[in-house]
Amino acid sequence: MAYGFDTLQVHAGARPDPATGARQVPIYQTTAYVFRDAEHAAALFNLQEVGYIYSRLTNPTVAALQERMATLEGGAGAVCCSSGHAAQIMALFPLMGPGCNVVVSNRLYGGSITQFSQTIKRFGWSAKFVDIDDLEAVAAAIDDDTRAVFCESIANPGGHVADLRAVADVADAAGLPLIVDNTTATPYLCRPIEHGATLVVHSMTKYLTGNGTVTGGVVVDSGNFNWSASDKFPSLSEPEPAYHGLKFHETFGPLAFTFHGIAVGLRDLGMTLNPQAAHYTLLGIETLSLRMQRTVENAQAVAEWLEKDDRIEAVTYAGLASSPYHDRVAKYCPKGASGLFTATLKSGYDGCVKLVDSLELFSHVANLGDTRSLIIHSASTTHRQLTPEQQKAAGASPNVVRLSIGIETVDDIIADLDQALARASS
């Protein structure tokens, strides 16, 4: 029998501890695992047997979280890592090589724009930024050296909802995987694999953990992509010298990407999630659907209130009837458009600064997806490394603030905004 989402968020990947019967997943606070004998050790190191060797690669607490995330996203397997940014590198690492490029949406989290436009160049990789709604531009940007297409399901901070099926079709026609950053939506609101995504990445730092305690990331693989259909993905289709010429795709089938991510990615890049962080994230995910329901309800009410307020020029919440993405919300995230959006203030840059300084319940922080309501002035913080054009494309112009609505009493959230807007506009 197939369990529902609310059951799976509590139980997937977890079973009573075989040694003690402990009901909650224990924090396996250990670096290494004793081998049964020399033969067992050799089999583990050859990937002939699956088991625990060293916690840079695998750890039982982290493995429970990997299984839970793969289940909730409807994927074949998952690799956890130390942050959302680590997950993006881990997603690209098996696909890319020097000279390769990735076609990415220009509406992304500011840190991702910096990572893709600057830092990945050090690996000899590059990114081509496109308007992800312009499918012809996406297709035209793809060349012989392209290895993936990347976008966010609901973009941070502007709330732009990507037409995942249409973008997946363009990637598919070019024989490429689509990677979707599903951080803002979470698998409760949107399941990108059902709409054609090959890989789903998350910053688990945000809604999945949900309480602002730890950083973490995950790459979930759908298991659907044929890595051997072309010669573009030799790390997965060709013999791996570090494992006696083993071919990951031929040997592990739909788990090829996951095994490669652990056996080569975590082994050699070392962006490992620690078991304490995995524990906090497992606890957070147990209540994901409940938090997201309240988050969506509150965000809808706050966005509607702000939209009517004459101190506000525009509100980007995709759940608003006035949003250009209203139809896409119905198709891709029918349970709601999450809790993240931007508001443009008539009082401009100075008004935004006064607003964040006048709020009492909201915290002015560089985070989102918390139980608490959060706000940030993106242009002076997360998006300040970007050019004015990049800021505008990312929905982070100087007169814009980003709000992440929490699960508090909605009247309190609105009252706080009301008093701070009064000061910001005076």
Ligand X SMILES: *Cc1c(COP(=O)(O)O)cnc(C)c1O
By CB under 6 A, name the binding residues for ligand X. 83-85, 109, 111-112, 152, 156, 181, 183-184, 203, 205-206, 215, 217, 368
In the complex, least distance from residue 204 CB atom to ligand X, rounded to whole angstroms: 7
Distance (Å, rounded) from C-alpha 126 to C-alpha 280? 34
In the complex, least distance from residue 181 CB atom to ligand X, rounded to whole angstroms: 5
66 vs 203 by CB, closer to ligand X: 203
69 vs 263 by CB, closer to ligand X: 69
9 vs 205 by CB, closer to ligand X: 205
Burial 291-314 (b: 16+ CB within 10 A, else e): bbebbbbbbbebbbbbbebebbee
Provide the 3-class DSSP secondary structure of residue 5.
Answer: helix
Provide the 3-class DSSP secondary structure of residue 203.
Answer: strand
- Residues 6+ positions from 216 with CB-CB distance below 8 Å: 80, 81, 82, 83, 84, 203, 204, 205, 208, 209, 273, 277, 278, 281
94 vs 111 by CB, closer to ligand X: 111
In the complex, least distance from residue 82 CB atom to ligand X, rounded to whole angstroms: 8
Q: Which is nearest to 203 in space by CA: 214, 218, 185, 188?
A: 218
Residue 78: CA atoms inside 13 Å, Cβ hemisphere, count?
30
In the complex, least distance from residue 182 CB atom to ligand X, rounded to whole angstroms: 9
What single-letter DSSP state applies at residue 246? B
214 vs 410 by CB, closer to ligand X: 214
Distance (Å, rounded) from C-alpha 38 to C-alpha 112? 44
Burial of 15 (0-12, 13-18, 19+ CB in 10 A): exposed
Q: Which is nearest to 232 in space by CA: 154, 176, 193?
A: 176
In the complex, least distance from residue 394 CB atom to ligand X, rounded to whole angstroms: 11
Neighbouring-strand partners of residue 343: 315, 401
122 vs 244 by CB, closer to ligand X: 122
336 vs 369 by CB, closer to ligand X: 369
Decide: 56 and 6 in contact? Cβ < 8 Å.
no
- CA distances, 306 to each of 33, 184, 303, 376, 415 (Å): 55, 21, 5, 16, 11
In the complex, least distance from residue 79 CB atom to ligand X, rounded to whole angstroms: 15
Decide: 383 and 328 in contact? Cβ < 8 Å.
no
In the complex, least distance from residue 370 CB atom to ligand X, rounded to whole angstroms: 12
In the complex, least distance from residue 112 CB atom to ligand X, rounded to whole angstroms: 5
Neighbouring-strand partners of residue 105: 130
73 vs 181 by CB, closer to ligand X: 181
Q: Which residue is nearest to ligand X (CB)?
A: 84
Neighbouring-strand partners of residue 180: 151, 200
Token pair 């496109």 in the structure block, residue: 130
In the complex, least distance from residue 388 CB atom to ligand X, rounded to whole angstroms: 21
In the complex, least distance from residue 61 CB atom to ligand X, rounded to whole angstroms: 18
205 vs 316 by CB, closer to ligand X: 205
71 vs 115 by CB, closer to ligand X: 115
Q: Where are the alpha helices (DSSP H) in 286-387?
A: 288-308, 326-332, 348-358
